[in-house]
């Protein structure tokens, strides 16, 4: 039993990382007043961009020396994943902010795109619609963990500082709470919101890259498996606060790690264990597990600002 | 400005696109006839006797037309400008008709000679000929001229805004098709493209590829078995589209249709497999079980929202994953261990595949062919019972508009029954069922879908409860002050929405929409997501949903053909659907007075003021700022 729990800690850190990155991203977006349900799709597009870029870069080198390790390739892949996330987030921001669309519908549309567009891309590059070729140049491991694990946990204090100790953070929160007031004192609402949504895309894209070139070594269709939605729930449970988000994503990460650990045992059938994080999410969100009242979301969340 | 842009695009399309495809092989290679002669990259060859010398002339006439229409910009008077555009538009339509006549005439002449020589129809010199992109563009251009003419007249903008329920989805569809065209452009080289083609010819073959892609997508419309297959694929979309739209009408966003469909499938499997009894009892019970399973899975998020205020979007998504887990749990194995204790389930059928036992024969839905009294392929007699019953019932309902609604419904049912009996007595119509038609499992679930459309329409627009539901959707606070119990209504709306999604399972399980009368791992639960596109494109109206579902059914069927011939994944169609959702969310990229009802009303009022005689104008109270009608103020 003790060995099980010892094994659980690194596994928890690993499965928390994508959730933490994405949830922090979602926090920026929602603090600025834009609902970002597109996170699931952003993770997928980020994962796809990272995997395809890495594979395309290493293919000519591998053709000459098989299994060659090149240091810079995975980092370019990581960058591509982040940029892919930013690009998709930009579409979401454009539709929501410029065309004043319903933010949930727009996010849903992007999630739907993430179900089908990767198939077309994979068919173009690899001739099948479900997964990419396996890559050799994965992200390196530092002391057994991907650099993104360190980055994710480092981002928690950084986000806290950004959000509560800098003028930019004050403006961001103002835009999400009372845009009229922020507008009156000269804050460019649209610019703040575009920035925040694209920042969430950047973090979501990194989470996707972590999945496809850090955790696994290929893109598999629909590989995010609800992580974007769980992060969204973790963000709400964490009360739109970096430290709260750290706690809630650790909870979900631990559930995930436990589920993986229990796969082999005979405690519960694996197919049901896979549903555990989702059941937990619902219980947590409806306040059944915590006696604390839910925190109030940013006041202007999801509302269109007419300027 | 719009006109100038349209003219520019039109002229470039007329010059660069292929006008006609003279013949085409399987796989897409073909002989193209454009403005500057015939392009035949694969040297398929065409007979010399084919008269195509008129094509450059026709193209020239269109370019001339476009130049003439630009002249309208110089006409000052609106009436005159409108008349000029109208006449050019009508001229364009005539020119289009003339082109079609010449084309089919020329082809017919060549093929006619060959037929006279005794060549089999399958081996004619010109096969699979069709109009091509420039031809479609010219038709669209003529319509655009007519529309622009209408816009010049007073009230033109209001006319367009009044039709926004159609304009916005069409615009979104057009934009999605345009993006889809770019995707196809990137995905594949042009048909028959080779290095020795010039740049212009490469461009033309690319444009031809795009045209052919969309021709294939719409090709099921041209033959009966394609139509049958489209209706088959449209059936679950009607259900899930209705489910999502029902939620939207109540102001709730139900993204949980996949999970509700799955639970409906499980429930209907349980009843259909394990309940024995006469068919008249077990079949309705199985259908009800599908609805109940979906209602349960939709009702839970509704209850959570009403009780704890948690947003239904996240909860329905979570329920999708949970349903998928339960589904796999039931049908992927029978032996499980819980905390070390073995548990045995009875649901998985023996064999390597994850699937349940077969539905009892008496609980299966008949196929539409069986409903029409036909047994499989070959000769048979078409029974009039169901067609006549439907016709009589619906026409009774439509004609006796004066009657109170209850009497109208009962009368309609009675007349329908009479039609059924009468049709049963009438002698059948002898028909030959082709084998290709008999294998398509287009089944009675379609009738259930139509019934669901009628019931939802009736409930939402003809009952007090439906009115309250829509009131809640428009403004929950106002509805609450008017005495609507919001919590109860939310639970009800989500449960009904879930039930509608669950009914889609009747098509898959009871009607063998997945090839077998059982629950299989290949149950396409993601159809529930497609329902979002259907509901948005159908603007949440039952009629719109039905039409959109049919359109998507056609596209999905065409997607199969597309994969077969051009090797482009069917995911293209799913991408198109997602793009449609995106573009409808963005209001079709149209000005905001198309999407905002308040601004639309303002446009309407402006138009009526403009139409009123100037003498009366002074008497109309203009509100506080009695100035001239200005552009609508945004609501903040």
Q: Which of residues 23-82 of A touch B (CB under 8 A)?
A: 37
The residue ranking higher by pLDDT, B365 or A86, is: A86
Phi, psi of B307 (to 5 degrees): -85, -45
In this complex, do B532 and A108 lie within 8 Å of one another by their Cβ atoms? Answer: yes
Q: Which long-range contacts (CB under 8 A, 24 or more apart) does B279-283 make?
A: B279/B362, B279/B363, B282/B360, B282/B362, B282/B363, B283/B362, B283/B363, B283/B364, B283/B365, B283/B510
**What's the confidence (pLDDT) of residue B628?**
41
Q: How many CB atoms lie within 10 A of CB B322?
A: 22
- Please, which pLDDT band fits residue B70 given cuts at 50, 70 and 90? confident
Is B451 exposed, middle or buried (CB count within 10 Å of its CB: 0-12, 13-18, 19+)?
A: exposed
Cβ contact (<8 Å) for A272 and B329?
yes
Closest to B15 (Cα-Cα) out of B47, B59, B52, B64? B59
Residue among B318, B333, B569 minimizing CB distance to A119: B569
pLDDT tens-digit readout, A238-284: 888 899 899 889 988 888 888 777 776 677 777 787 788 888 888 88
Of A202, A209, A185, the C-alpha closest to A18 is: A209
Q: Which residues of B touch A52 (CB under 8 A)?
A: none
3-state SS, one letter per residue, for B106-138: HHHHHHHHHHHCCCCHHHCCCCCCEECHHHHHH
pLDDT at A294: 58
β-strand pairing of B130-131 with B335-338? unpaired
C-alpha A249/C-alpha A257 separation (Å) is 12
Q: Is the pTM of this model over 0.80?
A: yes
* Model pLDDT, residue B190: 65
Residue pair B494/B246 in contact (Cβ under 8 Å)? The answer is: no
Provide the CA A274 distance to its chain's centre, in angstroms: 19
pLDDT at B614: 54
Task: Give the count of Cβ contacts less than 8 A between chain A and B.
Answer: 146
pLDDT digit string, tens, across residues B25-44: 777 677 777 777 777 776 66
Chain B residues whose CB is inside 8 A of the A100 CB are 587, 592
Shortest CA distance from B306: residue in chain A: A286
Residues of B in contact with A91 (CB under 8 A): 582
Q: Tell me the two tokens of residue B300.
A: 């839970």
**Which residues of A, range 177-206, sit inside 8 Å of B by Cβ?**
180
Report CA Rg, chain A: 20
How far is B111 from B47, CA to CA, in rounded Å?
A: 10
Q: For residues B635 and A10, which has the higher predicted lDDT (pLDDT)?
A: A10
B23: left (phi over 0), alpha (psi -120 to 50) or beta: beta
A229 touches chain B (CB under 8 A): yes
Residues of chain A with pLDDT under 70: 1-2, 4, 264-265, 288-295, 307
* Mean pLDDT for the stretch of residues B416-428: 78
Paired strand residues for B32: B21, B39
A129 to chain B: closest CA residue: B569
Q: Which pLDDT tens digit goes with each residue over B529-560?
A: 889 889 988 888 888 899 999 999 999 888 88
Largest CA distance in chain A: 62
Region B568-580: mean pLDDT is 86
- pLDDT at residue B338 greater than cutoff 70: yes
Lowest mean pLDDT among B9-18, B143-152, B355-364, B429-438: B429-438
What distance in Å separates the CA atoms of residue B195 and residue B237, rounded to the nearest whole number?
Answer: 44
Question: What is the pLDDT, as a whole number, of residue B1?
Answer: 65
Closest residue to A266, CB basis, from B317, B340, B589: B340
Residue B255 sits at φ, ψ, to 5 deg, of -95, 10
8 Å CB contact of A100 and B309: no
Which run of H or of E encompasses B30? strand B30-34
Residues paired with residue B564 on neighbouring β-strands, in sequence order: none
Residues paired with B342 in a beta bridge: B337
Question: Residue A185 in contact with residue A53, Cβ under 8 Å?
Answer: no
β partners of residue B31: B23
Instruction: Name the 3-class secondary structure at A217.
Output: coil
Instruction: Look over chain B and give the mean of its residue pLDDT values, rounded to a whole number.
Output: 81
| Percentage of residues in chain B having pLDDT higher than 70 | 91
pLDDT per position as a tens digit, B73-97: 777 777 888 888 888 888 888 888 8
* A231 interfaces chain B, CB cutoff of 8 Å: no
ipTM above 0.85, yes or no: yes
Chain A contacts of B592, Cβ < 8 Å? 100
Nearest CA in chain A to B533: A109
Q: What would the mean pLDDT of B268-278 be, rounded to a whole number? A: 85
pLDDT band at B615 (very low <50, low <70, confident <90, very high): very low
Given a contact cutoff of 8 angstroms between Cβ atoms, the answer to whether A37 and A104 are in contact is yes
Quick check: A99 and B529 CB within 8 A? no
Phi, psi of B383 (to 5 degrees): -85, 145
A positions 232-291 inside 8 Å of B (CB) = 232-233, 236, 266-269, 271-272, 274-275, 278-279, 281-282, 285-288
Which residues in B lie closer than 8 A to residue A101 (C-beta atoms)? 585-587
Q: What is the mean pLDDT of residues B180-208?
A: 75
The vertex-B113 CA angle with B111 and B114, nearest 5°, equals 60
Q: Look-up: residue for tokens 């800098």?
A: A166
HEC profile of A238-280: CCCCHHHHHHHHHHHHHHHHHHHHHCCCCCCCHHHHCCHHHHH
Closest CB to A112 among B308, B578, B587: B578
Looking at residue B402, its pLDDT comes to 75
For the stretch B391-421, pLDDT in tens is: 888 887 777 777 777 777 788 888 888 888 8
Tell me if B511 sits within 8 A of B364, measured CB to CB: yes
Whether the CB of A112 is below 8 Å from some CB of chain B: the reply is yes
CA distances from B572 to A116, B365, B545 (A): 7, 31, 21
CA distance A124 to chain B (A): 6
pLDDT grade for B211, boundaries at 50, 70 and 90: confident
Q: What single DSSP character describes residue B526?
A: T
Per residue in B160-191, pLDDT tens?
A: 777 778 888 888 888 888 898 888 888 877 66
């Amino acid at each position: 039993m003790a060995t099980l729990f010892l094994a659980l800690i690194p596994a928890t850190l690993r499965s928390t990382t994508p959730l933490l990155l994405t949830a922090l991203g979602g926090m920026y977006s929602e603090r600025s007043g834009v609902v970002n349900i597109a996170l699931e799709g952003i993770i997928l597009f980020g994962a796809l961009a990272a995997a395809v870029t890495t594979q395309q870069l290493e293919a000519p080198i591998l053709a000459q020396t098989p299994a060659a390790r090149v240091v810079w390739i995975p980092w370019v892949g990581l960058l591509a994943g982040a940029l892919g996330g930013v690009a998709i987030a930009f579409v979401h921001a454009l539709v929501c902010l410029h065309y004043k669309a319903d933010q949930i519908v727009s996010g849903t549309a992007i999630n739907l795109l993430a179900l089908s567009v990767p198939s077309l891309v994979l068919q173009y590059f690899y001739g099948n619609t479900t997964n990419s070729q396996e890559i050799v140049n994965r992200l390196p491991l530092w002391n057994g963990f991907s650099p993104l694990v360190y980055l994710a946990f480092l981002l928690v204090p950084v986000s806290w500082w950004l959000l509560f100790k800098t003028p930019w953070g004050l403006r961001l929160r103002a835009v999400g709470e009372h845009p009229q007031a922020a507008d009156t004192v000269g804050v460019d609402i649209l610019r703040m919101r575009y920035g925040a949504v694209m920042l969430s895309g950047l973090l979501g894209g990194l989470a996707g890259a972590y999945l496809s070139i850090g955790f696994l070594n290929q893109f598999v269709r629909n590989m995010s498996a609800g992580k974007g939605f769980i992060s969204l729930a973790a963000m709400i449970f964490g009360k739109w606060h970096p430290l709260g988000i750290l706690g809630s994503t650790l909870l979900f990460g631990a559930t995930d790690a436990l589920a993986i650990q229990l796969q082999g045992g005979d405690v519960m059938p694996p197919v049901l264990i896979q549903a555990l994080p989702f059941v937990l999410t619902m219980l947590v969100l409806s306040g059944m597990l915590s006696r604390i009242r839910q925190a109030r979301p940013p006041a202007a969340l999801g509302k269109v600002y007419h300027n | 400005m719009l006109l100038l842009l349209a003219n520019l695009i039109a002229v470039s399309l007329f010059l660069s696109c292929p006008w006609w495809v003279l013949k085409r092989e399987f796989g897409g290679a073909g002989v193209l006839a454009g403005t500057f002669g015939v392009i035949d990259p694969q040297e398929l060859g065409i007979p010399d006797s084919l008269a195509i010398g008129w094509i450059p002339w026709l193209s020239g006439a269109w370019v001339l037309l476009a130049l003439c229409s630009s002249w309208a910009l110089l006409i000052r008077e609106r009436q005159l400008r409108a008349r000029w555009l109208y006449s050019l538009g009508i001229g364009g339509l005539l020119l289009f008709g003339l082109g079609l006549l010449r084309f089919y005439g020329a082809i017919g002449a060549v093929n006619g000679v060959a037929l006279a020589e005794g060549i089999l129809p399958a081996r004619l010199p010109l096969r699979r000929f069709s109009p091509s992109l420039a031809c479609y563009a010219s038709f669209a251009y003529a319509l655009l001229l007519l529309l622009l003419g209408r816009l010049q007249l007073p009230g033109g903008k209001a006319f367009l805004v009044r039709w926004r329920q159609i304009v916005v989805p069409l615009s979104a569809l057009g934009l999605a098709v345009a993006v889809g065209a770019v995707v196809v452009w990137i995905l594949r080289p042009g048909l028959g493209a080779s290095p020795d083609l010039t740049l212009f010819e490469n461009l033309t073959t690319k444009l031809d590829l795009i045209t052919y892609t969309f021709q294939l997508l719409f090709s099921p419309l041209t033959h009966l078995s394609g139509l049958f297959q489209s209706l088959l694929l449209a059936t679950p979309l009607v259900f899930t589209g209705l489910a999502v739209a029902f939620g939207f009408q109540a102001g709730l966003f139900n993204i949980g249709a996949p999970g509700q469909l799955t639970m409906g499938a499980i429930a209907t499997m349980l009843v259909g497999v394990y309940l024995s009894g006469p068919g008249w009892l077990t079949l309705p019970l199985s259908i009800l079980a599908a609805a109940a399973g979906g209602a349960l899975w939709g009702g839970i998020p509704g209850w959570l929202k009403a009780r704890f205020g948690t947003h239904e979007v996240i909860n329905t998504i979570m329920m999708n994953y949970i349903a998928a887990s339960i589904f796999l749990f039931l049908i992927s194995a029978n032996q499980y261990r819980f905390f070390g204790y073995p548990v045995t389930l009875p649901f998985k059928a023996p064999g390597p595949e994850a699937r349940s036992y077969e539905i009892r024969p008496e609980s299966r839905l008949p196929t539409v062919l069986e409903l029409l009294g036909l047994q499989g392929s070959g000769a048979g007699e078409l029974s009039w019972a169901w067609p006549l019953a439907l016709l009589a019932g619906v026409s009774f309902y439509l004609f006796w508009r004066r009657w109170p609604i209850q009497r109208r419904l009962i009368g309609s049912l009675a007349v329908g029954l009479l039609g059924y009996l009468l049709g049963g007595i009438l002698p059948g119509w002898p028909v030959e069922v082709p084998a290709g038609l008999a294998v398509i499992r287009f089944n009675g679930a379609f009738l259930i879908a139509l019934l669901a459309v009628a019931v939802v329409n009736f409930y939402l627009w003809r009952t007090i409860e439906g009115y309250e539901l829509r009131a809640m959707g428009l403004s929950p606070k106002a509805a609450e002050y008017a005495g609507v119990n919001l919590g109860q209504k939310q639970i009800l709306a989500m449960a009904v929405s879930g039930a509608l999604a669950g009914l889609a399972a009747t098509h898959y399980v009871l009607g063998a929409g997945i090839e077998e009368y059982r629950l299989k791992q290949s149950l396409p639960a993601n159809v529930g997501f497609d329902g979002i596109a259907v509901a948005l494109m159908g603007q949440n109206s039952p009629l719109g949903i039905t039409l959109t579902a049919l359109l998507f059914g056609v596209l999905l069927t065409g997607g199969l053909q597309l994969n077969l011939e051009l090797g482009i994944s069917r995911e293209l169609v799913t991408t198109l659907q997602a793009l449609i959702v995106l573009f409808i969310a963005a209001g079709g990229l149209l000005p905001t007075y198309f999407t905002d009802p308040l601004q639309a009303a303002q446009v309407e009022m402006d138009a009526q003021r403009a139409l009123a005689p100037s003498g009366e104008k002074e008497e109309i109270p203009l509100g506080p700022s009695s100035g001239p009608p200005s552009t609508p103020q945004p609501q903040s």
